[in-house]
Chain A
């Protein structure tokens, strides 16, 4: 459970980073003014949340008790 949740956070965090960076922020390689705005507003915030979620998984992994509790 604990390990699964931590791995899940890493996967979701990385997915958030990749999707927001390449799919939701301003398009890569397009340098015209028309393309300077992100495709979804606050996409950079999603990227930041993804970074935090990935690193936050360490907290979950270490601090969440095991099913049977600490031995």
Chain B
């Protein structure tokens, strides 16, 4: 069996701090600092500093940019863990280079989703304590917090740790400044056949348990909106499945972008080839087709025989205040679909076009999440209130930007601590000595 060795340091760029990486960390930390400043102001001066206002009486929206990004971040996590679990369950060896980054993407996006919820609460500590104290199991919020934040995030962390132990054990064999950390992550793993067998069994069952929880967790998040009978635009049986599918679209898109960045950064063949990108492209294409079908069905139902208020919300999206967001989002979803279909027919996948599609569908998904959250609050009144409006303040933009920067920072740091692409079975790290 061939044994790859790394005479010039740890593999996959681990521990190698380049000037570009240091600049990236400084830039991301600066954006995080701005977001922290904005959040401190929000915490001390109150929610009035944001663009959010009471629904109806104050003509505003209580769920704004933060909730938009809660839904978006949790959505991104879907494809990450789904791809990782499917790769391990079905032993898709050619896609194995994607598994680790998919797992990291899931953990990071779930963490960001949880922080975005905290940012949305005026008094976060009171909110969190009372949730654990008084939450009602009948409420979809209970499911969202317990299934998504507790179960899903915890299970993903366990999964990521268990699948990282082997690489950490291999890295710990080599002298480096991070040897103590690699030993800690390896937690006694020595890669014996018995341990490998045990690891394989544990991750298999964990993957089996994560998959159904994944669907339940995302559907529950969809139910937060879809079960609200008194809010035109939200009450729909399609909300939950559409949440799951759009989650898959945005997550796969981001995974494509991340895989492309990793391939560029590692500057060597780590298995992230056209086959891998083509598989992701096909996966995203199928999900996009299903989502566009849901979108058309939803619109047809609302415009053909919707109630008066339902029609008003739809009209606002199609030709009113929110029309520019709606049509831009539709274009950002449909054009990538056309591009993916073209590439699939030609059987020739272009990585640059896949990256463009990945970025586009994510922007489109953010737009769609905004349209799910906001218009129903400002224009979906069943009580005789005037129509409202919502414009996010710079505070909200700064907090959201800092969340994204924080996510990028975690992934960037992770890449320097553990291999973002799993080491091949035949790879072994050897000491300089």
Chain A interface residues toward B at CB < 8 A: 21-22, 25-26, 28, 36-38, 41-42, 44-45, 47-48, 51-52, 54-56, 58-59, 61-63, 65-66, 70-71
Give Cα A66 to B197, complex, Å: 13
Give Cα A43 to B136, complex, Å: 9
Q: Which of A52, A54, A55, A63 contacts B187 (CB 8 A)?
A: A63
Q: Which chain A residues lie closer than 8 Å to B131 at the CB level?
A: 44
Q: Which chain A residues lie closer than 8 Å to B155 at the CB level?
A: 55
Tell me whether B133 and A52 are in contact (CB under 8 A): no
B198 at the interface (CB under 8 A from A): yes
Tell me whether A44 and B132 are in contact (CB under 8 A): yes
Q: Which chain B residues lie closer than 8 Å to A22 at the CB level?
A: 137
Q: Which chain A residues lie closer than 8 Å to B136 at the CB level?
A: 25-26, 36, 38
Closest to A35 in B: B136
Offer 29 A-B interface pairs, CB within 8 angstroms, sorted by A: A22-B137, A26-B134, A41-B133, A42-B132, A44-B131, A44-B132, A44-B137, A44-B146, A45-B132, A48-B150, A51-B146, A51-B147, A51-B150, A51-B154, A52-B150, A52-B151, A54-B209, A58-B159, A58-B202, A58-B206, A59-B161, A59-B162, A61-B198, A61-B202, A63-B188, A65-B188, A70-B188, A70-B194, A70-B195
Q: Which of B134, B154, B199 contacts A52 (CB 8 A)?
A: B154
Give Cα A38 to B133, complex, Å: 8
Cβ of B432 to closest chain A Cβ, rounded Å: 27
Q: A25-B137, A47-B146, A70-B195 are in contact. Are A58 and B132 (CB under 8 A)?
A: no
Tell me whether A28 and B137 are in contact (CB under 8 A): yes
Which residues of B (159-177) have their CB < 8 Å from a CB of A?
159, 161-162, 165
Dominant SS among interface residues on chain A:
helix
Tell me whether B158 and A55 are in contact (CB under 8 A): yes
B135 at the interface (CB under 8 A from A): yes
Chain B interface residues toward A at CB < 8 A: 131-138, 142, 145-147, 150-151, 154-155, 158-159, 161-162, 165, 187-188, 190, 192-195, 198-199, 201-203, 205-206, 209
Give Cα A70 to B202, complex, Å: 16
Give Cα A47 to B151, complex, Å: 10
Tell me whether A41 and B192 are in contact (CB under 8 A): no
Dominant SS among interface residues on chain B:
helix
Q: Which chain A residues lie closer than 8 Å to B203 at the CB level?
A: 58
Given A55-B209, A62-B199, A71-B193, list of 11 further CB < 8 A pairs? A25-B137, A26-B137, A44-B133, A48-B132, A51-B146, A51-B151, A52-B150, A52-B154, A55-B154, A56-B154, A58-B159
Q: Which of A28, A48, A58, A66 contacts B158 (CB 8 A)?
A: A58
Give Cα A47 to B136, complex, Å: 11
Cβ of A53 to closest chain B Cβ, rounded Å: 10
Q: Which of A41, A44, A62 contacts B198 (CB 8 A)?
A: A62
Give Cα A63 to B203, complex, Å: 12
Q: Which chain B residues lie closer than 8 Å to A59 at the CB level?
A: 158, 161-162
Q: Which of A36, A42, A56, A70 contacts B190 (CB 8 A)?
A: A70
Q: Which chain A residues lie closer than 8 Å to B199 at the CB level?
A: 62
Q: A47-B146, A70-B194 are in contact. Are A62 and B209 (CB under 8 A)?
A: no
Give Cα A54 to B158, complex, Å: 11
